[in-house]
Amino acid sequence: MWEGGIAAFKKSACVNSYAAGVDLGLRDRPEYARYCVECGTCSSSTRERPGVAGSVAQAGIAGSGIARTEELPRGEPKGERWRPLRTSALSFLQEWAPKDPEDVGRRDLFADYLTHHDDGLSRSCRPAHLTASVVIVDPAENAVLLVLHRKVGRWLQPGGHCELGDATLAGAALREAREETGISELHLASDKPLDLDVHAAPCTSDPATNHYDVRFLALTHRAPNPGPQREVIASQWFPLDEPPSGLDPGTIRLLDRARHWLSAYR
């Protein structure tokens, strides 16, 4: 048995202990997988680590605080398991014809990145990876639901990384939103994006890594403020015309677009 047990594993830098867990056949033990993923350092460093049986891809278990690791067979290209979602996302972006010139530029950037990066939807991909998010509004009360993100420390729309089980970018955005807010009744206002955004990725300490975020609009009926979830400190409804201060420019633009959409379809 690996010396030190779980306590030493928690205290360690995670990379060596994760390798030890693999070597000892403990990879599927949730206590090992959980710390490997949540420390945020393993996604790239263990992926090609010598001695680890195959490269390791990560995907969160929906609705839980535990994440799982998936081992790729030896010789399988690192982007192979992302092929279905990558194909779907690439077609989705290429078929979308936005009117805003900035959207056209970002769409072309995202599509070109996926064309040249087989694993461009994986959180381990550098120098960027695609993410998906959704701004949630209650049209009847003209309210928007934002989450206070643990890592970022700022109010944002729900969203995050894609997972291997996601079939579409919209599906990934809705899954993340349901996980972060606990609200199951979410309905997309359109099957097209509301906004595209490029921003520094909070999932890594590397300032050169970006999120290429595809953003949708979802409608729901206002419910009591959901409680804290694994990745968020709090969720809160705000008047769409009076959002909290300190929002980043991308979120401000996103809320402006949500207001415009609501006014156009009322």
Cβ atoms within 10 Å, residue 42: 24
Q: Where are the domains of the chain?
A: 5-71, 81-265
User: What's the pLDDT score for residue 63?
Assistant: 34
User: What's the pLDDT score for residue 104?
Assistant: 98
Question: Which residue numbers in the chain have pLDDT < 70?
Answer: 1-77, 227-230
User: What's the pLDDT score for residue 225?
Assistant: 72
pLDDT tens-digit series, residues 50-60: 332 232 233 33
- What letters, b where the CB count within 10 A reaches 16 and e where it falls short, cover 109-139? ebbebbeebbbbbbbbbeebbbbbbbbbbbb
Instruction: Quickly name the fold that domain 81-265 has.
Output: Nucleoside Triphosphate Pyrophosphohydrolase (3.90.79)
Greatest Cα pair distance, the chain, in angstroms, is 64
Q: What is the 3-state secondary structure (H, E, C) of the chain?
A: CCCCHHHHHHHCCCHHHHHHHHHCCCCCCHHHHHHHHHCCCHHHHCCCCCCCCCCEEEEECCCCCCEEEEECCCCCCCCHHHHHHHHHHHHHHHHCCCCCHHHHHHHHHHHHHHHHCCCCCCCCCCCEEEEEEEEEEECCCCEEEEEEECCCCCEECCEEECCCCCCCHHHHHHHHHHHHHCCCCCEECCCCCCEEEEEECCCCCCCCCEEEEEEEEEECCCCCCCCCCCCEEEEEEEECCCCCCCCCHHHHHHHHHHHHHHHHHC
User: What's the pLDDT score for residue 150?
Assistant: 83
Structure-block tokens of residue 81: 């398991």
pLDDT tens-digit series, residues 104-136: 999 999 999 999 999 999 999 999 999 999 999
95 φ/ψ angles, rounded to the nearest 5 degrees: -85, -15
User: What's the pLDDT score for residue 215?
Assistant: 98
Residue with tokens 């309905």: 187
